[in-house]
A and B are shown apart, each in its own frame.
Chain A
Amino acid sequence: MERKFYPENFERFLKGHADEFKITPSKKVWHGIYNDLHPGRRWPSIAMSMVFIFTLVIIGHLNTNNGRNTPLDITSLNTPKKSKHAKISQSLVKYETKQLPNNDNTANETDSANTNSLSSIVTAILPSSNADNNITNFDESKSNTVSGNKNENHPPVSVNKISSSDNQATDISADVIDEQELASTTPLNTNNAINTANKTNTDLQPQANAALIAKRIKNNPVTLTYYVSPSISYRSLSDEGVNNSVTHKPMIGYEAGVALGFNLIKKLKFTTGLQVNYSGYKIRANNTHPIIASLFLNSGIPGQYDVYSAMSRYGNNAGAEFTKLKNYSLQASLPIGLEYEFAGNSNVKFITAANLQPSLVLYSQAYLLSTDRKNYMTGPELFRKWNMNTNLGAYASFTTNSLNWQIGPQVRYQLLSTYSNRYPVKERLINYGIRIGISKPK
């Protein structure tokens, strides 16, 4: 290295070198600055994170519930509780011990009596075949009498008789108690009757309870599905001239929600729920010197316009150095629709779905094209607060690892213009997405 002399001015020497010194910062520095300056624009990444966390939580929740249901319910079924339903069971026991002569052998044994009472109730409330199945799950040593009499001596016991034997008892009728009522939780339904009967039956086997629970779950007509849908958002403009003079690009949108499904008939389901949507598009614009731009707005009177003028810093003449602007909205929707299973087998079902979505715009940003189509400007507030969307989709449904999955394409179309009728251009958003849904199988 060439040897240098001591500089005449040491400070100048230092400053000269120091000022020449440059280091290119890593990308993360700008990302940190950007996120700090534009917290609202972190929405997509935050949305993705939330969707991811949401998905994990739901999966975890469903898996946990699968593991917990049986022991919890068995506990509740076997745990004595002081309530008026206990009186029902007592009256039922009385009825059994008094009215069933074939139970003489075991009438003096409390356990047997209880088992009898339970079995008679089950016999009364379930179709005979189901009753058979349930009763045969009991400990044979405790329920032999029951199994011997369940069909011959306990022909569909009218629970109305039971109610007549005790004022506290209800008018539970075998005629009206069907499988669906097993899932019901009203105080005086058969489940409670079963529960109360079990209260004194400490020898009742868990398998019997599990069978009842499984039955109850199986007959639950409501399904709960959590879903997410990444999508590509496009827009359509009513004015072809405007459409041809702008450069808009699609952007990534998101949808997440929960759907409740109610079986109407075998393959048809009514669906509703709650969901949020983030969608919009990008605009290629260019920075310009500030300029007054004008927008002609419909006044409501034919041939007359309101003129809105504002300062604009963005031109509609994007060249090599363009600026990206975003028009987007965050909506909360209440989908109401139908699902129909049109094909499939026991492994995979193919379902088509359609719904209408009344939507509330929670947050929005819009750059509007000036009437002369030369500039983009913000304001006035022309965003429609309420809108209506429709959704069409088809998906495959299959079950793996105790979870029911739904995967398939969907299209969401915004029926009303993004902006109010004052804005002369009608804009509608279209989202093409992939729906991924998870539910607990019945």
Chain B
Amino acid sequence: MTEELMLYGCLDNVASAQEALYNRFSPRMLGVCYRFSRNREDAEDMLQEGFIKVFGQIHQFRSQGALEGWIRRIIVHTCINILKKNKKFTDSVDLIHAGNMYLNENNIPSILETKEVVESVKQLPIGYRTVLNLYAIEGFNHKEISKMLDIEESTSRSQYTRAKAMLEDILIKKKIIQPKERRRMIMGANN
């Protein structure tokens, strides 16, 4: 079914068109939800709520943009709204220091790199993780993030800096990337 037909069907509240649209975009959107959530069950709850909003607001979609991008923005906002209902998240995201994180290398699954990167993101404290997801992956700027999360813009910046450093550390320990210094040494030796 073409995207246009799916849209027409969804506008007419036709179940088969809605299911077709859902089948097309739900795997990637669940990946988005998964990065924001604690576990898969929470991610699926976010996905369900997000798609209900998508179908409820489908008449607001303007064909000029990409449908996937429009759906993704709704899903991300849904994830943030759900996270904000959790007091632990609110406390965490407003802290400059997320505390020390213990990384047990023995528990790191050696599977495909993409999944490892995502799992590494998920190992960040929830406040770091959310800001990093929004800034580095979803493309929001710090001003937008500060409004979305009800925090200071400076807090968003510092959260991101720390999140990035922590993630780099995790990825290096997982041997997915190499430290900058080592890379410079290798590149210098080559030169």
Q: A residues within 8 Å of B by Cβ? A: 1, 3-7, 10-11, 13-15, 17-26, 28-30, 32-34, 36-38, 41, 287-290, 313, 321, 323-324
Other contacts beyond A6-B180, A21-B117, A33-B51: 16, CB < 8 A = A1-B110, A3-B178, A4-B178, A6-B177, A6-B179, A14-B117, A14-B137, A17-B118, A18-B35, A24-B27, A30-B26, A32-B48, A37-B13, A287-B1, A289-B4, A324-B15
Q: What residue in chain B is nearest A22 (Cβ atoms)?
A: B27
26 pairs, CB–CB < 8 Å, chain A vs chain B: A3-B175, A5-B177, A5-B183, A6-B177, A6-B179, A10-B136, A10-B168, A11-B135, A13-B177, A14-B132, A15-B136, A15-B139, A22-B30, A23-B30, A23-B31, A23-B40, A25-B27, A25-B47, A33-B18, A34-B18, A37-B13, A37-B15, A38-B13, A287-B5, A290-B8, A321-B1
Q: Which of B138-191 contact A (CB under 8 A)?
A: 139, 164, 167-168, 175-180, 183, 186
Say yes or no: is B103 at the interface (Cβ < 8 Å to chain A): no
Residue contact B136 to A14, C-beta cutoff 8 Å = yes
Please determine whether B14 and A287 come into contact, CB atoms closer than 8 angstroms: yes
Per-residue contact bits, chain B 105-141, to A (CB 8 Å; 1 contact, 0 not): 0000010011101100100000000001101110100
Contact (A18, B183) CB under 8 Å given A6-B177, A30-B22, A287-B16 = no
Q: Is B12 an interface residue (CB 8 A)?
A: yes
- Kindly list chain B residues whose C-beta atoms are within 8 Å of the C-beta of A11: 135-137
Contact between chains at A5 and B48 (CB < 8 Å): no
Residue of A nearest to B56 (CB): A37
**Residue interface mask B49-62, A partner, CB < 8 A = 1:** 00110010000000
Q: Is B93 an interface residue (CB 8 A)?
A: no
Give the size range of B's interface with the partner: 35 or more
Query: How far apart are the CA atoms of A15 and B139 in the complex, in Å?
Result: 9
Bound together, the chains give a CA A23 to CA B52 distance in angstroms of 19
Indicate which residue in B1, B8, B118, B175 contacts A18 across the interface (CB closer than 8 Å). B118
The A-contacting residues of B in range 1-39, CB under 8 angstroms, are 1, 4-5, 8-9, 12-19, 22, 26-28, 30-32, 34-35
B181 to chain A, nearest CB (A): 9
Residues of chain B having any CB pair with chain A under 8 Å: 1, 4-5, 8-9, 12-19, 22, 26-28, 30-32, 34-35, 40, 43-44, 47-48, 51-52, 55, 110, 113-115, 117-118, 121, 132-133, 135-137, 139, 164, 167-168, 175-180, 183, 186
User: Measured between alpha carbons, how far is A359 from B158 in the docked complex, in Å?
Assistant: 70
Q: Are A18 and B121 in contact (CB under 8 A)?
A: yes
Q: Which 10 A-B pairs have the closest CB atoms?
A: A17-B117, A22-B27, A21-B31, A323-B16, A11-B136, A23-B30, A18-B137, A32-B48, A17-B114, A6-B183
Docked Cα-Cα span, A33 to B5, in Å, equals 20
